[in-house]
Protein backbone atom coordinates (compact mmCIF):
# COMPACT_ATOMS: atom_id res chain seq x y z
CA UNK A 1 0.00 0.00 0.00
CA UNK A 2 2.72 2.46 0.92
CA UNK A 3 5.09 1.54 -1.88
CA UNK A 4 2.75 1.50 -4.85
CA UNK A 5 3.39 5.03 -6.02
CA UNK A 6 7.12 4.66 -5.64
CA UNK A 7 7.24 1.42 -7.61
CA UNK A 8 5.08 3.04 -10.25
CA UNK A 9 7.67 5.83 -10.39
CA UNK A 10 10.39 3.23 -10.93
CA UNK A 11 8.52 1.80 -13.91
CA UNK A 12 7.92 5.30 -15.26
CA UNK A 13 11.65 5.88 -14.90
CA UNK A 14 12.40 2.71 -16.87
CA UNK A 15 10.16 3.85 -19.68
CA UNK A 16 11.58 7.38 -19.67
CA UNK A 17 15.16 6.10 -19.80
CA UNK A 18 14.34 3.63 -22.57
CA UNK A 19 12.66 6.35 -24.62
CA UNK A 20 15.47 8.84 -23.99
CA UNK A 21 18.17 6.42 -25.15
CA UNK A 22 16.18 5.18 -28.13
CA UNK A 23 15.21 8.69 -29.22
CA UNK A 24 18.79 9.95 -28.99
CA UNK A 25 20.12 6.99 -30.98
CA UNK A 26 17.19 7.14 -33.37
CA UNK A 27 17.86 10.81 -34.13
CA UNK A 28 21.44 9.98 -35.14
CA UNK A 29 20.29 7.09 -37.31
CA UNK A 30 17.64 9.21 -39.00
CA UNK A 31 20.06 12.05 -39.76
CA UNK A 32 22.58 9.56 -41.11
CA UNK A 33 19.96 7.87 -43.27
CA UNK A 34 18.86 11.18 -44.78
CA UNK A 35 22.47 12.14 -45.50
CA UNK A 36 23.30 8.78 -47.12
CA UNK A 37 20.11 8.61 -49.20
CA UNK A 38 21.30 11.69 -51.05
CA UNK A 39 24.49 9.86 -52.08
CA UNK A 40 22.78 7.43 -54.46
CA UNK A 41 22.06 3.69 -54.41
CA UNK A 42 23.89 1.09 -52.35
CA UNK A 43 26.09 -1.45 -54.11
CA UNK A 44 24.89 -4.95 -53.09
CA UNK A 45 28.28 -6.55 -53.64
CA UNK A 46 27.97 -8.76 -50.56
CA UNK A 47 24.21 -9.27 -50.44
CA UNK A 48 23.65 -10.71 -53.91
CA UNK A 49 26.36 -13.41 -53.73
CA UNK A 50 25.10 -14.42 -50.25
CA UNK A 51 21.55 -14.75 -51.59
CA UNK A 52 22.67 -16.83 -54.57
CA UNK A 53 24.77 -19.12 -52.37
CA UNK A 54 21.99 -19.57 -49.82
CA UNK A 55 19.35 -20.32 -52.44
CA UNK A 56 21.62 -22.85 -54.15
CA UNK A 57 22.19 -24.65 -50.84
CA UNK A 58 18.53 -24.56 -49.81
CA UNK A 59 17.42 -26.17 -53.09
CA UNK A 60 20.43 -28.44 -53.53
CA UNK A 61 19.63 -31.54 -55.65
CA UNK A 62 19.59 -34.77 -53.67
CA UNK A 63 18.94 -32.96 -50.36
CA UNK A 64 15.55 -32.33 -48.77
CA UNK A 65 14.80 -28.74 -49.82
CA UNK A 66 14.08 -25.95 -47.34
CA UNK A 67 11.29 -24.52 -49.44
CA UNK A 68 9.99 -22.07 -46.79
CA UNK A 69 13.42 -20.48 -46.42
CA UNK A 70 13.80 -20.39 -50.20
CA UNK A 71 10.44 -18.64 -50.50
CA UNK A 72 11.59 -16.08 -47.93
CA UNK A 73 14.68 -15.45 -50.04
CA UNK A 74 12.50 -15.00 -53.14
CA UNK A 75 10.59 -12.24 -51.28
CA UNK A 76 13.88 -10.51 -50.53
CA UNK A 77 15.07 -10.91 -54.11
CA UNK A 78 11.84 -9.29 -55.32
CA UNK A 79 12.29 -6.33 -52.96
CA UNK A 80 15.94 -5.86 -53.92
CA UNK A 81 15.01 -5.81 -57.61
CA UNK A 82 14.39 -2.10 -57.08
CA UNK A 83 17.54 0.03 -56.64
CA UNK A 84 18.21 0.40 -52.93
CA UNK A 85 18.89 3.62 -51.10
CA UNK A 86 20.51 3.31 -47.69
CA UNK A 87 17.13 3.68 -45.95
CA UNK A 88 15.26 1.16 -48.10
CA UNK A 89 18.06 -1.39 -47.65
CA UNK A 90 17.94 -0.79 -43.89
CA UNK A 91 14.17 -1.32 -43.84
CA UNK A 92 14.48 -4.50 -45.90
CA UNK A 93 17.22 -5.75 -43.59
CA UNK A 94 14.98 -5.16 -40.55
CA UNK A 95 12.10 -7.04 -42.19
CA UNK A 96 14.42 -9.86 -43.19
CA UNK A 97 15.81 -10.10 -39.63
CA UNK A 98 12.29 -10.81 -38.40
CA UNK A 99 12.08 -13.63 -40.93
CA UNK A 100 15.42 -15.02 -39.79
CA UNK A 101 14.43 -14.87 -36.13
CA UNK A 102 11.22 -16.77 -36.80
CA UNK A 103 12.88 -19.52 -38.83
CA UNK A 104 13.45 -21.82 -35.84
CA UNK A 105 10.66 -22.58 -33.39
CA UNK A 106 11.19 -21.51 -29.81
CA UNK A 107 11.20 -25.13 -28.60
CA UNK A 108 14.13 -26.16 -30.82
CA UNK A 109 17.48 -27.07 -29.37
CA UNK A 110 20.17 -24.38 -29.17
CA UNK A 111 21.71 -25.67 -32.41
CA UNK A 112 20.88 -23.33 -35.27
CA UNK A 113 19.21 -25.01 -38.24
CA UNK A 114 20.99 -25.17 -41.60
CA UNK A 115 18.32 -22.96 -43.17
CA UNK A 116 18.59 -20.30 -40.49
CA UNK A 117 22.37 -20.28 -40.74
CA UNK A 118 22.17 -19.61 -44.48
CA UNK A 119 19.65 -16.81 -43.99
CA UNK A 120 21.90 -15.29 -41.35
CA UNK A 121 24.68 -15.20 -43.95
CA UNK A 122 22.41 -13.15 -46.20
CA UNK A 123 21.60 -10.77 -43.36
CA UNK A 124 25.33 -10.38 -42.67
CA UNK A 125 25.90 -9.56 -46.35
CA UNK A 126 23.30 -6.79 -46.21
CA UNK A 127 24.97 -5.42 -43.08
CA UNK A 128 28.39 -5.35 -44.74
CA UNK A 129 27.01 -3.51 -47.77
CA UNK A 130 25.43 -0.89 -45.51
CA UNK A 131 28.65 -0.45 -43.54
CA UNK A 132 30.76 -0.17 -46.70
CA UNK A 133 28.42 2.45 -48.13
CA UNK A 134 28.35 4.44 -44.87
CA UNK A 135 32.13 4.31 -44.49
CA UNK A 136 32.61 5.55 -48.05
CA UNK A 137 30.15 8.46 -47.73
CA UNK A 138 30.62 9.70 -44.16
CA UNK A 139 33.56 11.36 -42.50
CA UNK A 140 35.22 9.33 -39.71
CA UNK A 141 33.38 11.18 -36.93
CA UNK A 142 29.98 10.71 -38.58
CA UNK A 143 30.70 7.04 -39.22
CA UNK A 144 31.68 6.47 -35.57
CA UNK A 145 28.52 8.22 -34.37
CA UNK A 146 26.44 6.03 -36.64
CA UNK A 147 28.13 2.87 -35.36
CA UNK A 148 27.58 3.90 -31.75
CA UNK A 149 23.93 4.73 -32.35
CA UNK A 150 23.45 1.33 -33.98
CA UNK A 151 25.11 -0.38 -31.00
CA UNK A 152 22.98 1.55 -28.48
CA UNK A 153 19.79 0.78 -30.36
CA UNK A 154 20.66 -2.91 -30.62
CA UNK A 155 21.60 -3.08 -26.94
CA UNK A 156 18.32 -1.47 -25.90
CA UNK A 157 16.43 -3.94 -28.07
CA UNK A 158 18.29 -6.83 -26.41
CA UNK A 159 17.66 -5.52 -22.91
CA UNK A 160 14.01 -4.84 -23.50
CA UNK A 161 13.29 -8.21 -25.12
CA UNK A 162 15.46 -10.64 -23.15
CA UNK A 163 15.17 -9.55 -19.54
CA UNK A 164 12.65 -9.18 -16.73
CA UNK A 165 12.27 -5.57 -17.76
CA UNK A 166 10.30 -6.65 -20.84
CA UNK A 167 7.28 -7.92 -18.90
CA UNK A 168 7.18 -4.80 -16.77
CA UNK A 169 7.45 -2.43 -19.72
CA UNK A 170 5.37 -4.26 -22.31
CA UNK A 171 2.55 -5.45 -20.06
CA UNK A 172 2.39 -2.38 -17.85
CA UNK A 173 2.97 -4.64 -14.87
CA UNK A 174 3.34 -1.96 -12.22
CA UNK A 175 2.03 -3.75 -9.14
CA UNK A 176 4.26 -3.28 -6.11
CA UNK A 177 4.91 -7.00 -5.90
CA UNK A 178 6.12 -7.39 -9.49
CA UNK A 179 8.49 -4.43 -9.35
CA UNK A 180 9.63 -5.37 -5.84
CA UNK A 181 10.59 -8.83 -7.15
CA UNK A 182 12.69 -7.18 -9.85
CA UNK A 183 14.32 -4.75 -7.43
CA UNK A 184 15.10 -7.36 -4.80
CA UNK A 185 16.38 -10.05 -7.12
CA UNK A 186 19.60 -11.61 -5.82
CA UNK A 187 21.10 -11.79 -9.29
CA UNK A 188 23.84 -9.11 -9.45
CA UNK A 189 23.60 -8.86 -13.23
CA UNK A 190 19.89 -8.08 -13.00
CA UNK A 191 20.61 -5.40 -10.41
CA UNK A 192 23.23 -3.77 -12.64
CA UNK A 193 20.84 -3.94 -15.59
CA UNK A 194 18.06 -2.31 -13.58
CA UNK A 195 20.38 0.46 -12.33
CA UNK A 196 21.62 1.27 -15.84
CA UNK A 197 18.03 1.32 -17.14
CA UNK A 198 16.75 3.92 -14.66
CA UNK A 199 16.84 7.71 -14.62
CA UNK A 200 18.32 9.47 -11.60
CA UNK A 201 14.81 9.89 -10.18
CA UNK A 202 14.14 6.19 -10.58
CA UNK A 203 17.42 5.33 -8.86
CA UNK A 204 16.51 7.61 -5.96
CA UNK A 205 13.18 5.82 -5.57
CA UNK A 206 14.92 2.46 -5.72
CA UNK A 207 17.43 3.49 -3.05
CA UNK A 208 14.63 4.68 -0.80
CA UNK A 209 12.72 1.42 -1.29
CA UNK A 210 15.85 -0.52 -0.30
CA UNK A 211 16.44 1.64 2.78
CA UNK A 212 12.78 1.35 3.79
CA UNK A 213 12.86 -2.44 3.52
CA UNK A 214 16.08 -2.67 5.54
CA UNK A 215 14.63 -0.53 8.35
CA UNK A 216 11.30 -2.35 8.34
CA UNK A 217 13.09 -5.71 8.53
CA UNK A 218 15.14 -4.46 11.47
CA UNK A 219 12.06 -3.14 13.29
CA UNK A 220 10.64 -6.67 13.26
CA UNK A 221 13.67 -7.93 15.13
CA UNK A 222 13.59 -8.10 18.91
CA UNK A 223 16.87 -6.18 19.10
CA UNK A 224 15.71 -3.45 16.70
CA UNK A 225 18.29 -1.23 15.03
CA UNK A 226 21.89 -1.61 16.08
CA UNK A 227 25.20 -1.17 14.28
CA UNK A 228 25.58 -4.94 13.98
CA UNK A 229 22.02 -5.62 12.83
CA UNK A 230 22.17 -2.76 10.31
CA UNK A 231 25.44 -4.13 8.90
CA UNK A 232 23.87 -7.58 8.74
CA UNK A 233 20.93 -6.30 6.72
CA UNK A 234 23.28 -4.49 4.36
CA UNK A 235 25.05 -7.79 3.71
CA UNK A 236 21.70 -9.51 3.19
CA UNK A 237 20.88 -7.02 0.45
CA UNK A 238 24.42 -6.88 -0.87
CA UNK A 239 23.33 -7.10 -4.53
CA UNK A 240 21.03 -4.10 -4.16
CA UNK A 241 23.48 -2.06 -2.07
CA UNK A 242 26.37 -2.66 -4.48
CA UNK A 243 24.24 -1.78 -7.50
CA UNK A 244 22.43 1.31 -6.20
CA UNK A 245 24.71 2.80 -3.52
CA UNK A 246 27.97 4.07 -4.96
CA UNK A 247 30.45 6.63 -3.68
CA UNK A 248 28.49 9.33 -1.90
CA UNK A 249 25.34 7.20 -1.80
CA UNK A 250 27.27 4.51 0.10
CA UNK A 251 28.56 7.06 2.64
CA UNK A 252 25.05 8.45 2.97
CA UNK A 253 23.74 4.96 3.76
CA UNK A 254 26.43 4.49 6.39
CA UNK A 255 25.47 7.85 7.88
CA UNK A 256 21.85 6.74 8.07
CA UNK A 257 22.88 3.64 9.99
CA UNK A 258 24.81 5.76 12.45
CA UNK A 259 22.06 8.30 13.05
CA UNK A 260 19.46 5.57 13.55
CA UNK A 261 21.64 3.83 16.09
CA UNK A 262 22.38 7.10 17.90
CA UNK A 263 18.66 7.85 17.96
CA UNK A 264 17.91 4.45 19.44
CA UNK A 265 20.42 5.04 22.23
CA UNK A 266 19.35 8.65 22.79
CA UNK A 267 15.57 8.19 22.84
CA UNK A 268 15.26 7.56 26.61
CA UNK A 269 18.03 9.76 28.00
CA UNK A 270 21.19 11.61 27.12
CA UNK A 271 23.84 9.12 26.07
CA UNK A 272 27.58 9.50 26.32
CA UNK A 273 29.40 8.89 23.03
CA UNK A 274 32.80 7.19 22.69
CA UNK A 275 34.39 10.65 22.82
CA UNK A 276 32.77 11.54 26.17
CA UNK A 277 30.25 13.94 24.62
CA UNK A 278 26.50 13.66 25.13
CA UNK A 279 23.70 13.48 22.61
CA UNK A 280 20.50 15.41 23.26
CA UNK A 281 17.64 12.92 23.51
CA UNK A 282 14.96 15.56 23.06
CA UNK A 283 15.92 16.01 19.39
CA UNK A 284 15.93 12.31 18.61
CA UNK A 285 13.85 11.07 15.68
CA UNK A 286 12.31 8.25 17.68
CA UNK A 287 9.32 7.99 15.38
CA UNK A 288 11.43 7.58 12.28
CA UNK A 289 13.47 4.90 14.00
CA UNK A 290 10.40 3.03 15.25
CA UNK A 291 8.11 3.43 12.26
CA UNK A 292 9.21 5.66 9.37
CA UNK A 293 5.83 5.47 7.66
CA UNK A 294 3.81 6.42 10.74
CA UNK A 295 6.16 9.29 11.48
CA UNK A 296 5.50 10.93 8.14
CA UNK A 297 1.75 10.33 8.40
CA UNK A 298 -0.01 10.75 5.05
CA UNK A 299 3.32 11.61 3.47
CA UNK A 300 4.71 8.25 4.59
CA UNK A 301 4.85 6.53 1.24
CA UNK A 302 8.11 5.18 -0.07
CA UNK A 303 7.96 8.16 -2.42
CA UNK A 304 7.85 10.43 0.62
CA UNK A 305 10.80 8.60 2.11
CA UNK A 306 12.60 9.04 -1.21
CA UNK A 307 12.16 12.80 -1.04
CA UNK A 308 13.26 12.76 2.59
CA UNK A 309 16.32 10.59 2.02
CA UNK A 310 17.35 12.42 -1.15
CA UNK A 311 16.65 15.97 0.10
CA UNK A 312 19.74 18.17 -0.03
CA UNK A 313 20.00 19.00 3.70
CA UNK A 314 19.45 15.40 4.79
CA UNK A 315 21.80 14.05 2.16
CA UNK A 316 24.50 16.55 3.11
CA UNK A 317 24.17 15.76 6.83
CA UNK A 318 24.26 12.01 6.30
CA UNK A 319 27.23 12.27 3.94
CA UNK A 320 29.20 14.20 6.56
CA UNK A 321 28.23 11.72 9.25
CA UNK A 322 29.07 8.72 7.06
CA UNK A 323 32.53 10.17 6.45
CA UNK A 324 33.18 11.04 10.11
CA UNK A 325 35.32 8.63 12.18
CA UNK A 326 33.25 7.46 15.21
CA UNK A 327 36.07 8.43 17.59
CA UNK A 328 36.25 11.97 16.22
CA UNK A 329 35.53 14.88 18.55
CA UNK A 330 32.99 16.15 15.99
CA UNK A 331 31.10 12.86 15.68
CA UNK A 332 28.42 13.69 18.26
CA UNK A 333 27.70 17.06 16.67
CA UNK A 334 27.47 15.41 13.24
CA UNK A 335 24.87 12.97 14.60
CA UNK A 336 22.90 15.85 16.10
CA UNK A 337 23.08 17.83 12.86
CA UNK A 338 21.77 14.83 10.94
CA UNK A 339 18.88 14.43 13.40
CA UNK A 340 17.98 18.11 13.08
CA UNK A 341 18.08 17.90 9.25
CA UNK A 342 15.84 14.83 9.22
CA UNK A 343 13.37 16.41 11.66
CA UNK A 344 13.17 19.53 9.49
CA UNK A 345 12.66 17.44 6.34
CA UNK A 346 9.89 15.44 8.02
CA UNK A 347 8.05 18.61 9.02
CA UNK A 348 8.42 19.99 5.49
CA UNK A 349 7.10 16.74 4.00
CA UNK A 350 4.16 16.78 6.41
CA UNK A 351 3.34 20.36 5.48
CA UNK A 352 3.42 19.67 1.74
CA UNK A 353 1.25 16.60 2.22
CA UNK A 354 -1.29 18.59 4.29
CA UNK A 355 -1.52 21.24 1.56
CA UNK A 356 -2.39 18.54 -0.98
The per-residue pLDDT for range 144-156, each reduced to its tens digit, is 989 988 887 777 6
What's the CA gap between 112 and 204, in Å, rounded?
Answer: 43
Residues 10 and 210 sit within 8 Å (Cβ to Cβ): no
Do 354 and 300 touch, CB atoms closer than 8 A? no
Question: Which pLDDT band, with edges at 50, 70 and 90, does 42 fall under?
Answer: very high
pLDDT score of 139 more than 90 = yes
Q: What pLDDT, on the 0 to 100 scale, is given for residue 27?
A: 84
Under the banding of pLDDT at 50, 70 and 90, the label for residue 294 is: very low
* Interval 270-288 mean pLDDT: 43
Q: What's the Cα-to-Cα distance from 235 to each of 124, 167, 214, rounded to whole Å?
A: 46, 29, 10
- Closest to 289 (Cα-Cα) out of 352, 351, 335, 354: 335
Taking the whole predicted model, whether its pTM rises above 0.95 is answered as no
Residue 5 has pLDDT above 70, yes or no: no
38 against 330, higher pLDDT: 38
pLDDT higher for 67 or 353? 67
Query: What is the mean pLDDT of the segment spanning 276-294?
Result: 42
pLDDT in tens, 310-330: 788 888 988 888 888 877 778
Neighbours of 239 (CB within 10 A): 17
- 217-233 core/surface letters (b: 16 or more CB in 10 A; e: else): ebeeeeeebbeebbeeb
Residue 125: is its pLDDT beyond 60? yes
Residue 171 C-beta-side C-alpha neighbours within 13 Å:
11
What are the DSSP calls for 302-319, one per residue? HHHHHHHHHSHHHHHHHH
Structure confidence at residue 110 as a pLDDT band (50, 70, 90): very low
Question: Is residue 290 very low, low, confident or very high in pLDDT (cuts 50, 70, 90)?
Answer: very low
Query: pLDDT value at position 114?
Result: 80
Least confident of 55-69, 78-92, 147-161: 147-161
The chain-wide mean pLDDT, for the chain, equals: 76
Give the residues across from 279 on adjacent strands. 271
Amino acid sequence: RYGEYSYDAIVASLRAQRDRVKNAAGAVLQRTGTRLDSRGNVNLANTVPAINQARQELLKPGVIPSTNAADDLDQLIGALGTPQTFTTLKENRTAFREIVDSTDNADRSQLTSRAKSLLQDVYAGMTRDMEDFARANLNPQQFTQWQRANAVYADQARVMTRSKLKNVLDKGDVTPESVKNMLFSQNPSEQRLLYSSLTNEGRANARSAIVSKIINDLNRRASGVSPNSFASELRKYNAQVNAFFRGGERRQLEGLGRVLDATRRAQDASVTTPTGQQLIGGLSITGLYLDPVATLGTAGTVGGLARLYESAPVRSALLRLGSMPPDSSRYAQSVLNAQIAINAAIEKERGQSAEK
